[in-house]
Chains A and B, each alone.
Chain A
Amino acid sequence: MSDEPVDVLIIGAGASGGAIAWSLADTRMRIVCLEQGDWMNPAEYPSTGRNWEARMQSDYAISPNIRQNSSDYPINDDNSPIKVANFNGVGGGTILYAGHFPRFHPSDFRVKSLDGVGDDWPIDYEALAPFYAENDRMMGVAGLAGDPANPPNNDVGMKPLPLGKSGEKLAAGFNKLGWHWWPADTAIATEQYDGRDKCINLGACLSGCAQGAKASTDITYWPHAIRAGVELRTRCRVQEITIGDDGMATGAIYFDGDGEEQELKAHVVVMACNGVGTPRILLNSTSQQFPNGLANNSGLVGKNLMFHPYAYIEGVFDEALDGYRGPNKSIRSQQFYETDPKRDFVRGYTFEIIRGSSPVRTASAGMTRGRIPWGADHHKAFRELFNRTTGMVAICEDLPEEHNQVSLDPELKDTDGIPAPKIDYTISQNSQKMLDHSIERASEVLRAAGALEVHATAPLSFGGWHLMGTARMGADPERSVVNEWGRSHDVKNLFIVDGSIFVTSAGVNPTRTIQALALYVADQMKQRLANLFD
């Protein structure tokens, strides 16, 4: 193996790593991506076996602490009411995500100006719009133009997912109240797209799509990036970014699949490990120049962690709905998305419809919350719920607060001896009021739709899917980690392109915006290749 530095080292092969690798490939630079996990084999996804629901709670669990695959690292999230969900492998979190694929709203980039909270982004919706469109073409988006809750968008290429019985039921409820709803934008192919087959309603999106209809980056960006010359090395876990005397990044030290320490030198380093993985590596990259972690002169690496606090609200109906059949998503509502001064909180949330529930989930969740008893009445109670529930989650905007943070655990380490991340997080009063509001409003919709009973849970303790804000972007080096085009203020050949650069979280799933940002940063880099480090 040559000791010559590669041109670009990308760390992480998930949502953003795949996008920037593909975009930079047309520069003909030598690009290498290090990924701590493996390639996925869809033939082994849980939905191919009868034990699929059990595997969603074991080797395909969303928590790395439960999953404990060899590619995972432990996370100390004891001091957080919301636990981290992630996946380590080619495709990253897109392997297990639901494929719900909303865009941010224009107001999401101007939170401070409009509502006096958080901070404004250094870029706006218009700057990202062309990269949203480019990403939509690469991932393949199903949806419907004309949503009155969003700016016009004609980039969705495929028809929306079926409403199904559940979607119809809830749509009727929203209509009865005169509230907004719209078919969800999803990164799920409803027709053949870029070599991928169409959705056949497996209903197991959250444990990998064996059909290949869901757009995970291992089957979208990566095949294109590799064909264009990008090298992807799997089972390579990065320990730290190395730094030269001139204060520039020189590459990375990593452990290969045999646990052997290796070094890869690079002219440019791009972090794409998302809101926990990226600060973990940066904080572990200490040196004389950066005793508190790389690119951390602001002290903000790891700070301002944002999840989306989730509420789950489910109704029980007296007729058969979709149950376990079909993608988890169908429609969404953004009736309560924008700030309304009449409410006791600022910002807002999205209702994302959860189509139905599978048999084991129906039974185990029903027993846990006491709705399905142990004993003789189990069967009757199970039948009252099975295939007869539908509902929604509220994805609440989380505002940045410095005390919510990722740091390095002083004791816990992964199998290579690298310190594990530690999460300290509390739910703000604003978020709590939003959660309460969402439960009340969702209950109204479900009742209007004919629900006989309504159950709610908030926050969803396992629902730390969205990891944002821990290396925020901004124009002021004292208030941000990267500049308005993703370059570290402190290290001029270090870029970050994942959810950690979010300034605020919006009230929607972040993947579409993470990828649009990665493409935007790639475009900025390409425009500045001659003077990238000035």
Chain B
Amino acid sequence: MTDSEQKFTDGEVALLHRLVDMIIPASDEYMLPSANEELIFADILRSAGAYQTTISSSLKALEQICREKFDHDFIELEANDRTVAVDSFRHDYQAGSDLIATVAAQCYYRDDRIMAALDMETRPPFPEGYSVDDGNWSLLDPVRNLSPIYRKVT
């Protein structure tokens, strides 16, 4: 366990583990893992450490919603009740829920398996770069024939 992971309590880690699975679950159709798959979730925990204060307070807010609505902790809830709690959380704590979703996406979409499934090369942009079509420059022909459209100033 790294220093970043240690920033969260066991309860917060368990809650986050369940929550990111609700954000990006596994897909049989696309043969993709969930965001709480071991390697991806480890990355999420490391990355979330940079936003520990906001994320911890957001998770606390989610727990509070669960207790108020259902008198149970989030991870004890049935799936339907969990969905209700999460909808309420996203509505009432948009900044915090967006942050958690963004961190989950940042880690999910840089995982080798996900990038490969999206036909992306599993590497950073530099140094190889990418190729982009030069394009069809004859599209510019009608514009070349326009009269000047800027205002003349005397």
Contact = CB atoms under 8 A, between A and B. Distances in A.
B125 A52 contact: yes
Given A106-B150, A376-B25, A47 B126 contact: yes
Interface in A192-221: 200-204, 210-211
A375 B126 CA distance: 33
Interface of B: 22-25, 27, 29-30, 32, 47, 50, 83, 86, 90, 98, 101-103, 105-110, 115, 118, 120, 123-137, 139-140, 142-144, 146-153
Contacts of B126: 45, 47-48, 202, 204, 210-211
A105 interface: yes
Given A150-B150, A163-B134, A364-B106, 5 more contacts: A164-B133, A202-B126, A337-B150, A375-B25, A379-B29
A50 B124 contact: yes
Contacts of A525: none
A325 interface: yes
A163 B129 contact: no
Contacts of A253: none
B137 A163 contact: yes
4 closest Cβ pairs, A-B complex: A163-B135, A200-B129, A325-B130, A363-B105
B27 A379 contact: yes
A503 to B, nearest CB: 15
A314 interface: no
A125 B151 CA distance: 12
Given A124-B153, A148-B149, A375-B22, A326 B130 contact: yes
A52 B110 CA distance: 9
A178 B32 CA distance: 45
Contact of B23 (A107, A148, A182, A378): A378
A360 B110 CA distance: 8
B142 A175 contact: yes
Contacts of B146: 148, 180
A273 to B, nearest CB: 29
7 contacts: A57-B102, A106-B153, A163-B134, A168-B133, A211-B129, A325-B132, A375-B22
A181 B143 contact: yes
Interface residues of A, number: 69
Contacts of B124: 47-50, 52
A363 B109 contact: yes
A110 B24 CA distance: 54
B101 A364 contact: yes
Interface in A298-326: 322, 324-326
Contact of B101 (A125, A151, A367, A383): A367
A380 B133 CA distance: 27
A200 B101 contact: no
A272 B71 CA distance: 59
A384 interface: no
Given A148-B149, A171-B139, A379-B30, A162 B109 contact: no
Contacts of A380: 29
A167 interface: yes
A384 to B, nearest CB: 13
A203 B123 CA distance: 13
A269 B90 CA distance: 52
A107 B109 contact: no
A200 to B, nearest CB: 3
A368 interface: yes
A326 B125 CA distance: 10
Interface string A368-393: 10000011101110010010000000
Contacts of A127: none
A106 B118 contact: no
A360 B135 CA distance: 26
Contacts of A167: 135
Nearest to A199: B129
B102 to A, nearest CB: 4
B149 A54 contact: no
A334 interface: yes
B47 to A, nearest CB: 6
A301 B107 CA distance: 45
A338 B132 contact: no
B111 to A, nearest CB: 9
Given A51-B110, A107-B150, A163 B136 contact: yes
B149 A149 contact: yes
A50 B110 contact: yes
A109 interface: yes
Contact of A105 (B103, B136, B147, B151): B151
